[in-house]
Amino acid sequence: MTQSPTVPGRTEGREPSRHHPVEWVRSHLTRRRGVPAPDGVPEGANDVLERLATLPLSVWSYRFDDESVRHLGPMAQDFASTFGLGSSDRSIAQVDANGVCMASVQALYRRLVVVEGELERLRESSGPAESE
């Protein structure tokens, strides 16, 4: 392993796995099963945001929860077919859900900056605001 040139104290390369061998088998099996999406994996934050806007959300309870416990979110099958992320269409990995949220926030931020710029230009072109 070598010292990272960009992050002090971080090394590059991988250390040997210290996990139980069964974890390797599980990891090896899940790595082989990518989830296909009709439109492929998103190409950028705007693409993620557009796809997120079409993702159906549902309210449900797990079988092991009390009937009064409700959850809100996408079904794993819908998430997998919309984004093409993850190793299964039976669950949503937190890293994928977080990535979709972060990319969407970035896309919304960029759009907001453009709108704020346009608003500022409109205010400047209309002259000083009249006070009552």
**How many angstroms separate the Cα of 39 from the Cα of each of 9, 85, 105, 109, 116?**
40, 12, 21, 24, 32
Q: What is the DSSP letter of 108?
A: H
Mean pLDDT, residues 27-47 taken together = 74
pLDDT digits (tens, 9 = 90+) for 38-52: 788 889 999 999 999
pLDDT of the residue at 32: 44
pTM recorded for the entire structure? 0.67
Q: What is the pLDDT of residues 51-64, one digit of tens each?
A: 999 999 999 999 99
* pLDDT value at 29 more than 90: no
Distance CA 26, CA 19 (A): 11
% of the chain at pLDDT higher than 90? 58
Distance CA 89, CA 10 (A): 34
Residue closest to 57 by CA, chosen among 36, 40, 85, 78: 78
In angstroms, rounded to a whole number, what is the distance separating the alpha carbons of residues 77 and 38? 13
pLDDT band (50, 70, 90) for residue 4: low
* Distance of alpha carbon 56 from alpha carbon 75, whole angstroms: 8
Encoding tokens for residue 19? 């996990």
- For the cut 50, the answer to whether the pLDDT of residue 5 exceeds it is yes
Give the pLDDT confidence of 88-130 residue by residue, as tens digits. Answer: 899 999 999 999 999 999 999 999 999 999 999 999 998 776 5
